[in-house]
Amino acid sequence: MEGCLTPIHSSIHPRLARAQHPCSESLPTCVPQLKGTDMPSDPTVEEQLKAMIVERLFLPVAPAEITDDDLLMEKFEIDSVRLFEIVIGLEEIFEISLEDDEFSIERFESVNAIAELVRHKLAGEGQDKA
């Protein structure tokens, strides 16, 4: 695609932005490709999580309608299968891996809780490996 003018929302993580871009197959030629290692500032982690949750779970709400403190399991009836979709999204978007002992309902109860887990993993990813 030549000369695409569709902007990428700068507050969304590059991989999520590419997935949401209308010409994602030709995105590298459409706009300068963002490096996957660029981590946006902390306030946008919640926005990325909301967009990812809505997209992966096919929720009939806009990401902005999810508050940071909403109890996700209750409000959106998230079961173990849907929770696994969120985990896969975290691994793909933020390039983190979760260990078995990191799976608990409390860590996934809200956007704030998930954001805290993501920040913790991003800060320590690589330090834990020997």
The full length of the chain comes to: 130
Question: What element of type H or E holds 15?
Answer: helix 14-20
Backbone angles phi, psi at 51, to 5 degrees: -65, -40
- Write down the pLDDT at residue 90: 96
Tens-of-pLDDT digits for all 130 residues of the chain?
344 444 444 444 444 444 444 444 433 333 333 334 344 444 589 999 999 999 999 999 999 999 999 999 999 999 999 999 999 999 999 999 999 888 888 999 999 999 999 999 999 865 544 4
Q: Hey, what domains does the chain have and what are their CATH numbers? A: 1-36 (no CATH), 43-124 (1.10.1200.10)
- Write down the pLDDT at residue 124: 85
d(CA 63, CA 13): 14
Q: Compute how many other C-beta atoms are within 10 angstroms of the C-beta atom of residue 109.
A: 17
Q: Is 35 helix (H, G, I), strand (E, B) or coil?
A: coil
- Write down the pLDDT at residue 44: 85
- Write down the pLDDT at residue 127: 55
The angle subtended at Cα 54 by Cα 109 and Cα 49, nearest 5°, is 55
Q: Tokens for 39?
A: 């981590």
